[in-house]
Amino acid sequence: MTVKQYVDHTKSLISEICRDSNRQEEKITIVGVTKYVDGPVAEQLVVEGITHLGENRLEKLRDKQEIITDESIKWHFIGSLQTRKVKDVIPHIDYLHSLDRLSLAVEIQKRATKTLPCFLQVKTSYEESKQGVHVDEVLDLVKELKDFDKISIIGLMTMAPLTENKEEIRDCFKKLRHLSQEVQGLNQSNAPCTELSMGMSGDFQIAIEEGATYLRLGSILFGQ
Ligand SMILES: *Cc1c(COP(=O)(O)O)cnc(C)c1O
């Protein structure tokens, strides 16, 4: 199958899931995760109308940006970000999905020339390897960022564990949605927190059902 066919297939699945779960499709943005492919293949996503692209490493992001020069593309950084790399990364991105600690926020505040839309990455599962702020610490971190005018907490992001257990995955996504409502309840001007970045190729159906607004999709778009 071609990238076009994979994209069409994915879009029709998303439409169907939205219909079945009473979600408005316009509220859902596909972030095409291009980390598995080279620039020319990634560019085919753009041809198919995917205008949000995600990468987890700076070098790979820059490779793609050399080839994909369309000004309307929004670039998402979805990988863990080392504090010392902040100054190199932020000039090249429109969204950060992996804000997970105060020290990282301090560095962004120091280096950014304009406000960066960020998702707080939350650890909603007990998997050791998963990064993110602990569920119990999210509200405190948001409050600590109150005066950071270079950071806008537009939403929360999580990764569900790799498991066959759908209820376990659903619990993670539910937890994230409830937490986002708590953040909204703070009425903090730089933390509207209306967006939920959750759902990957293996679990996006559950994510849509639980309110995802940004799906981070990689392998399903490339047939991997
Ligand atoms: C790789 C990656 C994805 C996409 O994963 P697929 O399962 O290939 O869709 C999404 N989010 C993050 C943080 C990733 O690193």
Residue nearest to atom 5 of ligand 1 (CA): 218
Q: So what's the pLDDT on residue 38? A: 96
187 Cα: distance to centroid of ligand 1 (angstroms): 31
Structure tokens at 100: 């997970």
Please, what is the average pLDDT of the chain? 97
Ligand 1, residue 224: give the atom nearest the CA: 8
223 Cα distance to chain centroid:
21
In the structure, what pLDDT confidence band is assigned to residue 127 with cuts at 50, 70 and 90?
Answer: confident
**Ligand 1 lined by 218 (C-beta under 6 Å):** yes
Q: So what's the pLDDT on residue 224? A: 81
123 Cα: distance to centroid of ligand 1 (angstroms): 15
pLDDT at 105 over 90: yes
pLDDT at 70 over 90: yes
Decide if 157 contacts 168 (C-beta within 8 A). no
42 Cα: distance to centroid of ligand 1 (angstroms): 14
Q: So what's the pLDDT on residue 143? A: 98
Q: Tell me whether residue 167 is exposed, middle or buried, using C-beta atoms within 10 angstroms of its C-beta: 0 to 12, 13 to 18, 19 or more.
A: exposed
Q: How far apart are CA 88 and CA 111, in angstroms?
A: 9
From 6, 31, 41, 78, give the residue whose CB has the most ligand 1 atoms within 8 Å, as the site to mutate. Answer: 78
Q: So what's the pLDDT on residue 185? A: 98
213 Cα: distance to centroid of ligand 1 (angstroms): 15
Q: How far apart are CA 99 and CA 122, in angstroms?
A: 9
For the chain, how many residues are written?
A: 224
Give the HSE-up count for residue 214: Cα atoms under 13 Å, Cβ half-sphere.
Answer: 29
Q: So what's the pLDDT on residue 202? A: 97
Per-residue pLDDT averaged across 6-28, rounded? 98
Per-residue pLDDT averaged across 120-149, rounded? 93
DSSP result, 172-186: HHHHHHHHHHHHHHT
Q: How far apart are CA 32 and CA 20, in angstroms?
A: 23
Q: What percent of the chain has pLDDT over 90?
A: 95
In the structure, what pLDDT confidence band is assigned to residue 209 with cuts at 50, 70 and 90?
Answer: very high
**Ligand 1 lined by 216 (C-beta under 6 Å):** yes
Interhelix angle 3-20/39-47, nearest 10 degrees: 50
DSSP result, 87-128: HHHGGG-SEEEEE--HHHHHHHHHH-SSPEEEEEEEE-S--T
Q: So what's the pLDDT on residue 126? A: 81
33 Cα: distance to centroid of ligand 1 (angstroms): 6
Per-residue pLDDT averaged across 8-31, rounded? 98
Q: How far apart are CA 173 and CA 181, in angstroms?
A: 13
Q: So what's the pLDDT on residue 117? A: 98
**Ligand 1 lined by 130 (C-beta under 6 Å):** no
**Ligand 1 lined by 76 (C-beta under 6 Å):** no
Q: Phi then psi for 153, rounded to 5 degrees?
A: -85, 90
Residue 162 vs residue 200, higher pLDDT:
200
Per-residue pLDDT averaged across 3-20, rounded? 98
Pick from 129, 107, 125, 124: nearest CA to 116: 107
Ligand 1, residue 216: give the atom nearest the CA: 10
